Amino acid sequence: GEDVEQSLFLSVREGDSSVINCTYTDSSSTYLYWYKQEPGAGLQLLTYIFSNMDMKQDQRLTVLLNKKDKHLSLRIADTQTGDSAIYFCAEGEESSASKIIFGSGTRLSIRP
Amino acid sequence: SQTIHQWPATLVQPVGSPLSLECTVEGTSNPNLYWYRQAAGRGLQLLFYSVGIGQISSEVPQNLSASRPQDRQFILSSKKLLLSDSGFYLCAWTAGTSYEQFFGPGTRLTVL
């Protein structure tokens, strides 16, 4: 079945870049997502990329997709304390059900 | 604009008691609806999804059930709670084949 894997923790210094990595198994994925979850809250879509794209940039966020290796990454430039959260990688197909499969989440902590 | 509500925000229940969590969506019609569980320190697990009234698909065998009595109402239930049912329950919706899922604020359930 589908599976999405990501490392559980990442610690970076404030002002540095954060890179969160993810691998997925479903080659028929249409969309790949990054969601952000702040403590005690629901998930918020940060950015997404279509499977026919290699890269997407949105302000401080850069998403890279290596479809051959089924590898997705999220780079956050100039990481700030407000970026502390859990970041979920997810994959989905374009279908009537629009199911999304989530990874376990990477907890990003920022040190001064 | 669309909003999604979950009730209650927190719940503490004894083992063996029943459960009813409610999710409602406003500002849209015929949404796809989803229930996820996030166990402590773990990722999101899709429990149920629904593409229409009375249509429920279960993703994993478990002690829980879901119902959709109205277009924009999704209910998660249990007849007898287990300790392992503790977790953070998130409801989400999406419009048809839209790529983005919108999440509710979540319900934190503690079973003692």
Q: Report chain B's mean pLDDT, rounded to a whole number.
A: 91
> Residue B72 has what pLDDT?
96
Backbone angles phi, psi at A47, to 5 degrees: -165, 165
Structure tokens at B99: 């790529």
A2 neighbors A20 (Cβ within 8 angstroms):
no
Percentage of chain B beyond pLDDT 70 is 96
B103 contacts A42? CB cut-off 8 A: yes
Contact across the interface for A98 and B94, Cβ inside 8 Å = yes
Q: What is the pLDDT of residue A97?
A: 67
Q: What is the pLDDT of residue B101?
A: 87
Residue in A with minimal Cα distance to B31: A97
pLDDT tens figures, A51-73: 888 999 999 999 999 999 999 99
B1 touches A at CB < 8 Å: no
**Whether pLDDT at A33 is above 90:** yes
Residue A1 has a pLDDT of 59
- Token readout for B14 is 């004894």
Q: Would the CB atoms of B96 and A96 count as touching at under 8 Å?
A: yes
B14 touches chain A (CB under 8 A): no
The partner residue sitting opposite A95, judged by closest CB among B42, B97, B102, is B97
Count of CB atoms situated within 10 Å of the CB of A53: 13
